[in-house]
Amino acid sequence: MAEYTFQCEGKADFLPGQYAMLRLRGVSGDRAYSMSNQLSPDGLWRFIVKRVPGGQETTVLAEALEIGESIELDGPYGRRTWAPKDERLIGRAPHGHWRTMIFIAALRHDRIDAPFVLDGPVNGEAFRAYVKQMLVPTLSPGDVVVTDNLVSHQGQAVRDAIRSVKAHLLFLPPYSPDLNPIE
């Protein structure tokens, strides 16, 4: 992933959720990209683009486009926002970016315990660190920890850390529509 910034004459006026069409030298057709910045009075349009192996557009952006080279930028397009009728919706990216942020916590009957925000996707190493440094110090003998079957949650180190304080670990079934708010 890389961020590309283009400067145009006039201000860059767009709403969160809108996109622009880029036409790059040597690429047939236009490509739509969502802006990663807020509206800019100095004409800056920023895009975060994931490099696609063999992709024409991302190859040109990463390897062939020179600093100062002109491109065609057309937009903004789309209105993927919700607001009361005749009112403008103002949206912002959390902490100035659109990357993945994960919130993990222990839910008890009377409170949330061991809250943790991870700036990026969860993996085995991050989950082990959460369990050992945040969750285990809040557990008491007899507590029950219920987690989903994500591979990063299943490591022996996670099981050992939870069991070291005489707490129990249970995994949800591989598919649990009762506990999946998307279903």
Residue 78 shares a structural domain with residue 40? yes
Average pLDDT on 113-140 reads 89
Is residue 10 assigned to a domain? yes
- 107 and 169 inside one domain: yes
Q: What are the residues whose beta carbons fall under 8 Å from the beta carbon of 40, sequence distance 6 or more?
A: 11, 12
> Two tokens at 174?
């591989």
Number of separate domains in the chain: 2
d(CA 140, CA 138): 7
Which pLDDT belongs to residue 84? 66
Asked if residue 108 and residue 171 are part of one domain, the reply reads yes
106 and 168 share one domain = yes
Same domain, 10 and 75: yes
Nearest to 72 by CA among 12, 31, 15: 31
Token pair 């201000």 in the structure block, residue: 11
Token pair in block for residue 140? 């008491």
| pLDDT at 175 (0 to 100) | 66
For the segment 55-80, the average pLDDT, to the nearest whole number, is 79
Question: Is the previous residue joined to 76 through a cis bond, with omega within 30 degrees of 0?
Answer: yes
Query: Is residue 39 a contact partner of residue 12, using CB atoms and an 8 Å limit?
Result: yes
Confidence of residue 68 (pLDDT cuts 50, 70, 90): confident
The reply to whether 10 and 80 lie within a common domain is yes
Report the pLDDT averaged over residues 156-177: 88
How high is the pLDDT of residue 169? Answer: 94
Q: Is residue 94 part of a domain?
A: no
The vertex-151 CA angle with 148 and 156, nearest 5°, equals 95
Phi, psi of 179 (to 5 degrees): -110, 15
More confident residue, 129 or 180: 129
pLDDT digits (tens, 9 = 90+) for 3-36: 888 888 878 877 766 788 888 888 888 888 888 7
Domain of residue 74 covers 2-84
Q: How many CA atoms lie within 13 A of 125 on its CB side?
A: 2
